[in-house]
Structures are given as structure tokens and as C-alpha cells.
Amino acid sequence: MAYPGKWKVLNNGYAGTANCHGSKNKNPKLLLVTDRVDLDDQITETFKKCGKQVKQANTGKHLLELLKDKDDGIITTIINKFEAAIKIAEPFTSNNIFVLVDEGHRSQYNNFNVYMQRVFPNACFVAFTGTPLMKREKNTAAKFGGLIDVYSIKDAVEDKAVVPLLYEGRHNVMEVNEKPLDNYFDRVAEDLTEYGKASLKRTFSAKNKIVQSLSFIENTAWDISRHFVDNIQGTGFKGQLVVPNKLSAIRYRDILKEIGRISVELLISAPDTREGDTDAFEENDDKVRTFFKAMMDKYGSPDNYENHLLMDLKNKKNQK
């Protein structure tokens, strides 16, 4: 098994390899790397259900113990464990190690990627990605060296692994009453220099600020409610709404509950103290902290909170 170059990558499927020198690869060490705990747990459980021997690394030290084990079973790990591993052990120089990197467009542009390659300088790396980065400074194909194979959405639909992806564009018409806004801006920016006023205006006239406003969210929430009731409700399908930030998410939840036509639950991560503090026109993130504290009081921990909501979403059949 020999491949040219250092890395290869695949768009929408499995991909890539590094430094494979054509060995027969008898009893290779197989390592599957993810960048999120929930993915690590999910993949580990999937292997177990398929009857495969799999061991999950709990710490960097545990990862080293599993790698040194003569057993040829599958190892799963989170990428950040390599930082601890490289500090306490010499690199594994064997070329009979295969590292499968899930979500190859993420976590491969920082120190975690460097630590991983230091631990396995001669391993064969195979990357997976369904959403490759296309930017000049972060280009997945350029970083990993090209495509080995592609498993597209069309292929998955034909295999009945997924249902067809349907897109319907919907628009929230925005009309701006400039005079009240200008008057309010003048009051808020009264003590700023001309440069400061110009900078503030650029910041809060951006489209991403408009879509976070209460009026925009209220109009969108009503449209979502009507569309869901008319087209989805009663079919057994459910919906997921992704929004720009935590405060917007709370506002959507509150308004959708107030409208009362569909059931809604909100899942957010712990508040980031950097969020919301520069917003002169809206609330700061106190509302986010209050909501998250209420969830911790109810569920006890972030993991319990997330797991409860995900299981609830999967199992409830008669949600409106």
C-alpha cells in the first residue's frame, strides 16, 4: 500500500495518506481521531455494535498505553490527547500505523495537528471530510494534497443512507426607518470621536447585526412556525434551527414558545464571557448566563443537559 506525497484528502468521504512505504501492513495499528467528545463516544459505540474490538483512550497517558499494546484492535481518541502524549514519550516511528482523521477540515491547522504528526512521524494518515475548507489560507485539498475518492450526497441518496436534501429559499424583507435610528445612534455615540463614530457605525450596520435584532427574529420565527405547521407537522419529521449566537438562540426560543404553534427546546454551550459585551444596541450576555445557569440547575451538568435534550428529540413522536 503506497501513496505519493505526504497527505491526501477526500471531499465527502474517506481520504488521504502520508508516508506509506509499501509495506505489507500485517496487523497494523489503527487509530481513529476526532475533535469532539460526543463524536469519539459515537464512533466508539458504533464499532462496538459492529462487533469490532475497540478501545477508547481516556487520557494522553492511556493513549500511549494503548499504542504500546501488541493488540491490533482499533483505538479511538480525541486529538488534544496528543499534546500530553508527545511530552511523556518518544515518537512511534513505525510505518505500520494508520491514523484516520475524522472531520479533516477541522483541527488540522493548529498545534494539535503538529502534535499528532510528531507522535507518528511515519504513519499513514487518512482524512475524512464532508465540508472541505476552500479559503486561500485554509484549503483542505491544498493541505492534504488532493482527492483519493469521493462519496457524494447523490451517492448516499442512491444508497438510501440519507434522504434527499431539499432547499427552499425564504426571505425576511427588511425595511429601515432611518431617522429614529440616526437619532438613537447620535445619542449613543455622543462622546466618541469622528473615527470612533465611523467605526461603531460600520460594526452595527452590518447584516449579521440586523439578523440578530428582535424585529428580524420575530418575523422569522412567525415564518418558521407557519411553514412548519403547513408542511412538516404531523409527518414525524422534526426541525433544527441554527442561529448566529447564543443570545439570538434564546430570543428565537422565547418567541417560538410565545407563538405556541410548535414545540421548541434550546441547546447551547456554556457562555463565553467575551460574547455580547460590545453590543451597544442590545442586551449583553447576562441573559445567556441566566439561561445556562437555569439549565445547570435543572440537569446538573452540561453533558446531562445535552444528552437529555438529544434523547428527547430522538424519542418524542408526538411533538407539535
Amino acid identity of residue 192, one-letter, is L
Grid cell for residue 253: 426560543
pLDDT at residue 265 is higher than 90? yes
Determine the pLDDT at residue 319: 60
Euclidean distance between CA atoms 81 and 89, whole angstroms: 13
Cell numbers for 201, please give them.
457605525
195's CB contacts (< 8 A; 6+ apart) are none
What pTM did the predictor assign?
0.59
Q: What is the pLDDT of residue 255?
A: 96
Query: Could you tell me if 29 and 94 are in contact, meaning their C-beta atoms sit under 8 angstroms apart?
Result: yes
pLDDT of 228 strictly over 90: yes
Beta carbons within 8 Å of 77's beta carbon, 6+ residues apart? 31, 32, 33, 34, 40, 56, 57, 63
Q: Nearest CA to 75 among 95, 102, 103, 55? A: 55
pLDDT at 175 over 70: no
Cell (9 digits) for 199? 467605526
Place of cell 431539499: 166
What is the per-residue pLDDT across 34-77, written as a single tens digit (0 to 9) for each? 888 888 888 899 888 888 888 999 888 898 888 888 777 799 99
Share of the chain above pLDDT 90, in %: 18
Is the pLDDT score of 260 beyond 90?
yes
Q: Would you tell me how many other CB atoms lie within 10 Å of the CB of residue 49?
A: 8
Which pLDDT band, with edges at 50, 70 and 90, does 205 fall under? low
| Residue 172 or 274, more confident | 172
Residue spans of beta strands (DSSP E) within 112-154: 124-127
CA-atom Rg of the chain in angstroms = 25
What value does the mean pLDDT take over residues 222-231? 93
What confidence tens digit (pLDDT) does each residue in 107-166 have?
666 677 778 878 888 888 777 877 776 776 677 666 666 777 788 888 989 999 888 888
Q: Which three cell numbers stand for residue 127?
A: 482524512
Beta strand pairing call for 54-56 and 124-127? unpaired
pLDDT of residue 24: 56
Residue 212 pLDDT exceeds 60 = yes
The grid coordinates listed for 171 are 426571505
Average pLDDT of the chain to the nearest whole number: 78
Q: Which pLDDT value is given to residue 14?
A: 39
Domains and CATH numbers, the chain: 29-158 (3.40.50.300), 178-315 (no CATH)
Query: What digits encode the pLDDT tens for the residues 295-307?
Result: 999 999 998 998 8
